[in-house]
């Protein structure tokens, strides 16, 4: 079951769809144009059911196989872009300044659309393929919104699969692993209340900048001194706001950042130690320091059985030598994690070649990956629900 010939032949056409999406990027849940184009194409392809508005602006299509069967498998692609000013200079560059497809969701959507047309034409499987086009992956938890809107139950999804492009991995290759593949992404806020005054009289106040600086330094000891050196965690303070004048000790400071972990025990440890450090340092310097930890996307953890299935399909498409079944985890995050908490499934990376990195203004999806990605989707349905 190598690359599907009809999908390889259609790759140029699918690339045109992709470039149209790229020209018209939309953010988070405001993907009305993209979702409308997707829904129209799915109806044109002859899908048995097309439902809009799942999770606000998500689109779901159902394709029945030649025999009804008892299996229902979900395939998911994301549709939203990022608030970045594009610098690729490509003919299909964003026509909306300050918005661009800098993560390849235009490619993800187009590959799944290509597979949808193929599956609707051939129906060489037994069961139901549910194609999920999701909004708001980039920080909006669109996967969770679709699940809360009844996605899994309404369409009877038993297993669910996702795919994301990976810059640096050659085109025509796949990478995956069992268990944690991508990190939980949590946010934190630290509010420090000191005592403002004249900067020439620091002894008369409580400097929240000094307190915050000590907290920033101490937070780095969580990874260096509390986390097993063979385990993984990231604690990054990314903003520090305090004061407006060079000669005034400010009254307060606000710090924010992100913590990334690969399992719940580590997540608990990081949150606990951060809270202890913030409170203790604030107290030691005579300030009031409040800590808020917001659990956002959970760990993206692949289920073993479904990972084996994904590996077998990817190997059938590109050959065993071009599939890494034990790739190293990434500390980036992905809201497909919510779907993997709801149903067994697997998330796989597809090579995007020597491109700029994700979320870069120079990034572009490599259209050479289209035939491989669309063939993976088509083959996954045909292999897992063989007629």
Give the helix/strand (H/E) hosting 350: strand 345-351
Q: How far apart are CA 366 and CA 320, in angstroms?
A: 22
Question: What percent of the chain is predicted at pLDDT more than 70?
Answer: 100
Label the pairing between strands 233-242 and 252-261: antiparallel
- Chain centroid to Cα 85, Å, comes to 20
17/147 same-domain check: yes
Q: What is the pLDDT of residue 270?
A: 98
pLDDT tens, position by position, 158-217? 999 999 999 999 999 999 999 999 999 999 999 999 999 999 999 999 999 999 999 999
User: Number of H helices and number of E strands within the chain?
Assistant: 11, 16
**Burial (Cβ within 10 Å: 0-12, 13-18, ≥19) of residue 176:** buried
- At CA 135, angle to CA 52 and CA 363, rounded to 5? 135
pLDDT at residue 1 greater than cutoff 60: no
Instruction: For residues 98 and 220, state if they share a domain.
Output: no
Mean pLDDT, the chain, whole residue set: 97
- Among 264, 297, 330, residue at a domain's last position: 297
Per residue in 94-126, pLDDT (tens digit) is 999 999 999 999 999 999 999 999 999 999 999
Q: Is residue 14 located within the same domain as residue 159?
A: yes
109 and 164 co-located in one domain? yes
Residues 114 and 95 placed together within one structural domain of the fold: yes
**Cα angle vertex 345, ends 57, 45, to 5°?**
50
Q: Which residues pair with 289 in a beta bridge?
A: 192
| DSSP structure class, residue 286 | T
Confidence of residue 332 (pLDDT cuts 50, 70, 90): very high
Same structural domain, 80 and 128: yes
User: Same domain, yes or no, for 190 and 283?
Assistant: yes
From residue 338, alpha-carbon distances to 75, 145, 236 in Å are 14, 10, 24
Give the DSSP letter of residue 81.
B
Q: How far apart are CA 143 and CA 317, in angstroms?
A: 27
Based on the domain organization, do 173 and 250 belong to the same domain? no
* Backbone angles phi and psi of 20, in degrees to 5: -65, -45
| Domain co-membership, 92 together with 113 | yes
Three-state SS at 372: helix
- Same domain as 192, residue 156: no
What does the block give as tokens for 373? 């990605």
State both tokens at 110.
Answer: 């187009």
Question: pTM of this prediction?
Answer: 0.94
One domain, residues 175 and 204: no
What pLDDT score was predicted for residue 70?
A: 84
* Rounded Cα–Cα distance for residues 183 and 266 (Å): 11
Helices (H), the chain: 5-9, 11-23, 32-45, 105-122, 142-148, 151-154, 208-221, 264-284, 304-318, 336-342, 370-384
Task: Give me the count of residues in the chain.
Answer: 387
Structure-block tokens of residue 284 = 């030691």
348 and 278 in a common domain: no
Two tokens at 302?
């692949």
Residue 263 and residue 183: Cα distance in Å, rounded? 8
Domain boundary among 242, 275, 297: 297
Q: What was the pLDDT predicted at 281? A: 98
List the domain range (segments joined by +) for residue 287: 184-297
Nearest one of 111, 91, 168 to 356, comparing CA atoms: 168
Going by their DSSP bridges, the two strands 197-198 and 248-249 should be labelled as antiparallel
Through-space distance between the first and last CA atoms of the chain, rounded to whole angstroms: 14
CATH of residue 324:
3.40.630.10
User: Per mean pLDDT, which range of 50-54, 66-70, 227-231 is the poorest?
Assistant: 66-70
Domain count, the chain: 2
- Cα separation, 188 vs 237, in Å, equals 9
Q: 297: which DSSP letter?
A: E
Which CATH number fits the domain that encloses residue 276?
Answer: 3.30.70.360
Domain boundary among 297, 332, 359: 297
């Amino acid at each position: 079951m190598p690359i599907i010939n009809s999908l390889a032949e259609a790759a140029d056409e699918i690339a045109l769809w992709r470039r149209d999406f790229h020209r018209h990027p939309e953010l988070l849940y405001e993907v009305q144009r993209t979702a409308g184009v997707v829904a129209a194409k799915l109806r044109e392809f002859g899908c048995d059911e097309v439902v809009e508005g799942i999770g606000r602006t998500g689109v779901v299509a159902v394709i029945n196989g030649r025999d009804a069967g008892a299996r229902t498998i979900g395939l998911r692609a994301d549709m939203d872009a990022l608030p970045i000013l594009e610098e690729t200079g490509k003919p299909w560059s964003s026509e909306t300044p300050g918005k661009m497809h800098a993560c390849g969701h235009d490619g993800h959507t187009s590959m799944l659309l290509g597979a949808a047309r193929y599956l609707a034409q051939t129906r060489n499987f037994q069961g139901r393929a549910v194609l999920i086009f999701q909004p708001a992956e980039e920080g909006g938890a669109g996967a969770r919104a679709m699940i809360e809107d009844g996605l899994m139950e309404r369409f009877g999804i038993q297993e669910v699969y996702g795919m994301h492009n990976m810059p640096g991995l050659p085109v025509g290759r796949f990478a995956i692993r069992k268990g944690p593949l991508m990190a939980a992404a949590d946010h934190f806020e630290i509010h420090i209340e000191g005592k403002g005054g004249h900067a020439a009289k620091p002894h008369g106040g409580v400097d929240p900048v000094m307190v915050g600086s000590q907290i920033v330094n101490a937070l780095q000891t969580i990874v260096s001194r509390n986390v097993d050196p063979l385990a993984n965690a990231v604690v990054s303070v990314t903003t520090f706001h305090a004061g407006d004048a060079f000669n005034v000790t400010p009254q307060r400071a606000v710090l924010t950042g992100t913590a990334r972990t690969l399992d719940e025990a580590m997540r608990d440890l990081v949150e606990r130690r951060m809270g202890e450090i913030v409170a203790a340092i604030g107290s030691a310097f005579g300030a009031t320091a409040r800590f808020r930890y917001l659990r956002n996307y959970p760990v993206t953890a692949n289920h073993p059985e479904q990972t084996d299935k994904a590996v077998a399909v990817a190997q059938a498409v590109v050959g065993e030598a071009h599939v890494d079944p034990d790739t190293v985890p990434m500390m980036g995050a992905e809201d497909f994690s919510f779907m993997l908490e709801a149903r067994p499934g697997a998330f796989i990376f597809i090579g995007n070649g020597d491109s700029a990195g994700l979320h870069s203004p120079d990034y572009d999806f490599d259209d050479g990956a289209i035939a491989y990605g669309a063939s993976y989707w088509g083959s996954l349905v045909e292999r897992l629900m063989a007629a």
